[in-house]
A = this chain, B = another copy of it.
Amino acid sequence: MSQNAAWIAVDWGTTRLRAWAMSADDQVIEARSSDDGMVGLTQADFAPTLVRLMGDYLGRERMPVMACGMVGAKQGWAEAAYAAVPCAPPGIDQATRVQDAAFDLAILPGVKQDTPAEVMRGEETQIAGYLAQDPNFDGVLCLPGTHTKWVHISAGEIVSFRTAMTGELYALLSTQSILRHGVGEGWDEEVFAEAMSSTLSKPETLAMTLFNIRAEGLLHGLSPTAATARLSGLLIGAELAAMRPYWLGQRVVILGAEVLSKRYAAALQAQAVPAEMVGAEALTLAGLIAAQAHRKAAA
């Protein structure tokens, strides 16, 4: 540690903990992370886990912490009840506050939608980070990942959203199912585009095209590279078929990691929907900084 931290920003997800030691003028002093996701922790573990990761930044005063993600779930450090759409991404006023020996903690709530039932925890803070840079955005944000979110934004508010488990399905099918025998490294843009287009235009075929990947490998030597691109294309095509109201005729911005964002952008481009891509890495931190700025203003 080369510098005293004024506060700590925390993105505590299901499987990862990311934390940033921040200066008084909201510059990153140091970023750290660990595999101590909430899924492996009981309620009593959260504070000691954060002490273990960031302890050398702690002094005699309680350290202000601004956190988002599954840390606010019912099984998290403390529950931060969902805000309900339509709403702006929740800020410090809606946060759950916890004070213990070491921390003055604020956990930003997730967002829920009653009908159709939907929940997010963490994505709302990425959205807050995006809106901090582009407050007048009106359109759709796509946040690809394990559970991809499609979010309609208008007048600074989350109006509605839907979730597709595409990332989780892809991971399960490519590592745990019979298809794991055929998939591999690499990427084939053309195979992806063809598979994507086939389930987008004929979503009813999905159930019989998945096993076909295995049979093509056995009978016709489908390469592991092509199998991977086809699996991804079939699943993303099925997702786009479900999410049509979220992209058809809309302004779409994709907030995600580069490789995955490019797949979604290519899929949308094939439907004549130009999609911007914004790296999601920094957005969570930007959202946490925005919430912390309000906390300081209110203090």
Contacts and interface: CB of A to CB of B under 8 A. Distances in A.
- Chain A interface, DSSP helix/strand/loop, else mixed: helix
A266 interface: no
A259 interface: no
Given A176-B172, A177-B172, A211-B147, A114 B163 contact: no
B211 A163 contact: yes
Contacts of A118: 211-212, 215
Interface string A152-179: 0000000000111110110011001110
Interface in A236-291: 238-239, 241-244
A265 B241 CA distance: 28
A211 B164 contact: yes
Nearest to A219: B117
Contacts of A238: 204, 206-207
Copies of this chain, count: 2
Residue among A211, A218, A239 facing the most chain B CB atoms (10 A cut-off): A211
Among A112, A165, A208, A220, residue most surrounded by chain B Cβ atoms (within 10 Å): A208
Interface string A101-129: 00000000000111011110000000000
Contacts of A219: 82, 112, 114, 117, 119
B177 A168 contact: yes
Given A165-B211, A203-B206, 20 more contacts: A82-B219, A112-B215, A113-B215, A116-B208, A117-B212, A117-B216, A147-B178, A163-B215, A164-B207, A165-B178, A169-B173, A169-B177, A169-B210, A172-B173, A172-B177, A176-B176, A204-B204, A207-B239, A207-B243, A208-B243
12 contacts: A113-B215, A117-B212, A117-B215, A162-B208, A165-B210, A168-B177, A203-B206, A204-B244, A207-B242, A207-B243, A208-B239, A209-B242
